[in-house]
Amino acid sequence: MKMRFGFVSNSSSSSFTCDHCKTTESGYDVGISEFEMVECDYGHICCVHHLSVEIDDPKVIEAFLEIHPTYRKYANGDMIGEISYHFPSEFCPMCNLEAIGMDDLVSYYELRFGLNQDEVLDDIKNTFNTYDNFIKAARDANDEG
C-alpha cells in the first residue's frame, strides 16, 4: 500500500487522478475538494460522484471523527476539506473492491504472477520493442473489449 500525501505548500500545482474513472484534474493552489474528489485513508483518489454516500453525510462525518478524533473540536465547522483528504475507507469504492486503481492493479499483477516492474519492462521490450507499439496494442485491445 502506498500512502500519498497530496499537496505540499508553496504555490504548487496539484493533480489528482481518480482511481475509478481515471479522470485527471489539476490546478494551482487548489485542494482536492475543489475538484469534487476525495482521497481515502489508503490513498485512493475518487470523484465524489462515484460515492454511494454524500461526503457530508452524518455517517461519513462520524466515521471520519472516529479515525481522526483530534478533529472533534472542530466538529461544528466545515470539515469538507479535511474529510476530502481523509475520506473514511469504509465508504471508498476501491477499499470496498468495487473498482481498482492503477497502483493496486500493479500490486495485484506482482502478487498473482510474480512479476516485478523490471520483469514487466523487459517483457514489454521483448514483445513490443517500442513504447509506441506497446501503447497502440494496448489501445487496440481496449477497443475490442
In the complex, what is the shortest distance from the CB of residue 46 to Zn ion, in angstroms, rounded to a whole number?
6
Q: How far is CA 107 from the centre of its chain?
A: 14
Pick the closer one to Zn ion by CB: 33 or 89.
89
Pick the closer one to Zn ion by CB: 15 or 23.
23
In the complex, what is the shortest distance from the CB of residue 20 to Zn ion, in angstroms, rounded to a whole number?
4
In the complex, what is the shortest distance from the CB of residue 122 to Zn ion, in angstroms, rounded to a whole number?
31
Q: Which residues bind Zn ion (CB under 5 A)?
A: 18, 20-21, 23, 40, 42, 44, 47, 89, 92, 94-95
Cα–Cα distance, 62 to 72 (Å, whole number): 9
Cα–Cα distance, 40 to 95 (Å, whole number): 8
Cα–Cα distance, 25 to 12 (Å, whole number): 14
Pick the closer one to Zn ion by CB: 23 or 129.
23
28: cell is 494551482
